[in-house]
């Protein structure tokens, strides 16, 4: 699973969008190729229909991420489900994949590689789940930013 700083920074930025208005403002002058919706299981049918319309109007791809039960709910929404081309279950990362993931944010933040025990601890703590890894490194980034702000005062 390759990661580069641009992709990782975009992912971290997207994780912090809580309001559609923020997202719309950010992409106003950009060509969008893919819309990623996390926790899609919480969307109402009307929102899914709007996504379908946006997909057709803007000629963009849509990636819905949700809990496994979402697939069953989606199958009951025939008009939407016929447009779903693939359903894939995202498995946790292996220890080697987790280590690869860990290296990229550390590099971006300018932090040295930790001892092997830290890699093992992070994998144990997150169980290789991407959301856990991203949340962990988001917290680390916030702590570093707060520390830098305090030191600059």
Concatenated DSSP letters of 63-82 = EE---TTHHHHHHT-HHHHT
Residue 76: which of 40, 46, 38, 45 has the closest Cα?
A: 45
Q: For the chain, 153 residues long, give each residue's pLDDT as a single digit of tens.
A: 445 566 566 656 665 655 555 666 666 666 667 878 888 888 888 888 887 777 777 777 888 888 878 888 877 877 777 777 777 777 899 999 999 999 988 888 888 999 999 999 999 999 999 889 989 988 988 888 888 777 776
Rg from Cα positions in the chain: 18
Distance CA 126, CA 92 (A): 9
Backbone φ/ψ region at 84: left (φ over 0), alpha (ψ -120 to 50), beta: beta
| Per-residue pLDDT, 107 | 87
Q: Where are the domains of the chain?
A: 5-81, 95-152
| Per-residue pLDDT, 2 | 47
pTM beyond cutoff 0.85: no
| Per-residue pLDDT, 26 | 65
Strands (E), 5-142: 34-37, 61-64
| Per-residue pLDDT, 6 | 63
Task: Collapse the DSSP code of 132 into the 3-class scheme (helix H, G, I; strand E, B; otherwise coil) and give the result.
Answer: helix
Going by the DSSP 8-state scheme, the letter that residue 41 receives in this structure is: G
């Amino acid at each position: 699973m390759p990661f580069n700083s641009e992709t990782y920074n975009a992912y971290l930025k997207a994780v912090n969008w809580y309001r559609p208005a923020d997202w719309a403002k950010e992409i106003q002058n950009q060509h969008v190729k893919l819309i990623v919706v996390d926790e899609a299981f919480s969307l109402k049918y009307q929102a899914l229909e709007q996504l379908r319309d946006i997909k057709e109007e803007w000629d963009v791809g849509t990636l819905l991420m949700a809990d496994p039960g979402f697939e069953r709910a989606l199958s009951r929404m025939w008009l939407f489900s016929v447009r779903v081309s693939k359903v894939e279950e995202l498995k946790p990362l292996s220890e080697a994949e987790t280590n690869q993931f860990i290296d990229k944010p550390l590099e971006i933040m300018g932090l040295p590689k930790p001892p092997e025990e830290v890699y093992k601890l992070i994998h144990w703590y997150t169980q290789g789940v991407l959301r856990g890894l991203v949340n962990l490194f988001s917290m680390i980034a916030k702590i570093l930013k707060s520390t830098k702000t305090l030191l600059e005062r």
